[in-house]
Amino acid sequence: MSGLRVVPLGGLGEIGLNLLVLETAEGAVAVDCGVMFPDEQMLGVDVVIPDVGYLRTIRDRFRGIFLTHGHEDHIGALPYVLSEFDVPVYGTPLTLGFVRERLREHGLARDLRLLAPGQTETVGALSIEPFAMTHSIPDSVGLAVRTPFGTVIHTGDFKLDQTPLDGRLPDLARLAALGDEGVLLLLSDSTNVEHAGVTPSERTVGAHLDALFAEAKGRIVLTTFSSHIHRMQQAIDLSTRYGRKVAFVGRSLQAHTTVARELGLLHVRDDQIVELGDVRAIRPHEITLISAGSQAEAASALMRIAMDAHKQVRLDPGDTVILSSRVIPGNERAIANLVNHLYRRGAVVHYGRAAPVHVSGHASQEELKLVLNLVRPKYFVPVHGEYRHLVRHNLLAAEVGVRPAHCHLLEDGDVLELDAHGARRAGQVAAGRVFVDGKGIGDVRDIVLRDRRHLSEGGLVLAVLGLAQHSGELVAGPELVTRGVTSEETSIEVMEGARAEILAALDAMDAESRTDAAEVQNEVRRALRRHFRRLDRRPVILPFVIEM
């Protein structure tokens, strides 16, 4: 290998799963290492991580992981990857605080190294400099990577918030200076490329929340992403203004707020915090509950509250619930069910477009154009987005002057190679999704998910029969057990028809075939399929033959 290789293993073609490799002959580093949360088709899957088979092929040259910020889609896969690769992880204080908590849960201790804007780390032939960016989590950075072939800029997730809550501005001056020096390649966040204009500042949420706090008569329950420290800070400040104490509900949220407080990034007095067990003793208009569960996860704190199943928190009629987060695509139905249950408790619910209590953390078109104009890259690759986002971002780059031939549309596994002769596609490497189900990593594959979907749609029929080993004569059964096929009222008639179909199939077999258990199983399976197809049913059929 004579050039610089850019190898995305996740995050290009989907939202989440972010992991991108920058590689030279001297070594390689990864930018981010995130998860994707399962959609409704991934039945039983807990989380999705990137396939890191390619990292195994370059294990001797893999030197470290650089993190842009502390969201799960950028750090969540670290426990799984670091269990196999003992490499240093670089990140800002809050990011590493969240990582340390994740690794502790998995019983891992790894080399975590602080990274700060203005500080440069050298790994092999790569020199990596972080620069400040604003996002929906503090301590976010982009990365400027100097290589033997030119400078690569990775924006990380960002928006150009000019009035950030913590006063930490995006470092546009550094981006402009890097652009003046000359940038070989820009990798830029594409999430909001379909949105015109500029993404509103986080501060704009405060005025809307203030109005809701002012009119609330009972408890306030506010839910947001557990890493959204700035949103929680606004809720805490408003609680102070309106004479309310604060309780944190949910394990992940409590862990994140503890880390942020220790680092001085979340400010709340000890005497303002209430333990959950003491919430019912406080008058409703004097308490704010900040809760996890913004995406209506089945076991989340907010869902249990909505179902009146939380041991320590109950809603009363007139309480206010604020869903201060965006809906992750695919979660719309779950959120709707959550809202319905909250209304059943008598709550006043503020959510969605009717209640402007959330702003995105990602740049819209005018901000994306500004970054392109400041950096003026020779080559451009859109990252962090579904396929339509990547296509649209390439068109946007061409609009502001990047040559269309220099805008490369990559997906997971595609390889872009850059050297003194230019940039070109250089084949593909193995990339994909690995499903984590309980303690199993990778043992659930597409075929398993297909079977789970089949079971959920058609149910299961178990057929058990005993045959004499030497004669093939039916000794016992057939006994049929079903799950999810028919109701008890109709099952007798349906099952009698199924048994008759099996007996007819056995009678049609010759004596020699009936002594072959595998052949009998196939005939029983075919007979039951015929029977249930006449009823427009397609259950999973499992025949068992016991030789006696």
User: What is the three-class DSSP state of 389?
Assistant: helix
DSSP annotation of 14 reads B
What CA–CA distance (Å, rounded) separates 330 from 347? 25
Amino acid at 107: G
Q: Is 74 a catalytic residue?
A: no
What CA–CA distance (Å, rounded) separates 541 from 461? 5
Q: CB-side exposure of 17: number of CA atoms within 13 Å? A: 28
Helix axes 365-375, 172-181, angle to 10 degrees: 40
Structure tokens at 53: 């088979």
Q: Is 189 a catalytic residue?
A: yes
What CA–CA distance (Å, rounded) separates 502 from 478? 8
DSSP annotation of 68 reads S
CB 405 within 8 Å of CB 22: no
CB 531 within 8 Å of CB 478: no
Q: What residue ranges in 98-164 does DSSP mark as E strands?
A: 112-114, 121-123, 126-132, 141-147, 150-154
Whether residue 200 has a cis bond before it, omega within 30° of 0: no
What CA–CA distance (Å, rounded) separates 22 from 97? 25
What CA–CA distance (Å, rounded) separates 395 from 399? 6
What CA–CA distance (Å, rounded) separates 194 from 179? 25
What CA–CA distance (Å, rounded) separates 29 from 14? 22
CB 137 within 8 Å of CB 362: no
User: What is the three-class DSSP state of 110?
Assistant: coil
Tell me the torsion sign for CA atoms 138, 139, 145, 151: positive
User: Counting Cβ atoms within 10 Å, is residue 85 exposed (0-12), middle (13-18) or buried (19+)?
Assistant: middle
What CA–CA distance (Å, rounded) separates 374 from 116? 22
CB atoms within 10 A of CB 503: 15
Kindly compute the dihedral angle of the four CA atoms of residues 447, 452, 458, 459, in this order, to the nearest 10 degrees.
130
Q: Which residue among 230, 362, 393, 408 is the active-site one?
A: 362
What CA–CA distance (Å, rounded) separates 5 from 145? 13
DSSP sequence for 447-514:
HHHHHHHHHHHH-EEEEEEEE-TTT--EEEEEEEEEESSS-HHHHHHHHHHHHHHHHHHHHHS-HHHH
Q: Which residue among 157, 161, 171, 189 is the active-site one?
A: 189
Structure tokens at 337: 């069910």
- Expressed in angstroms, the distance from the first to the final Cα of the chain is 64
Q: Residue 141: name the closest of 170, 120, 165 by CA.
A: 170
Could you give the residue numbers annotated as active site?
Answer: 189, 362
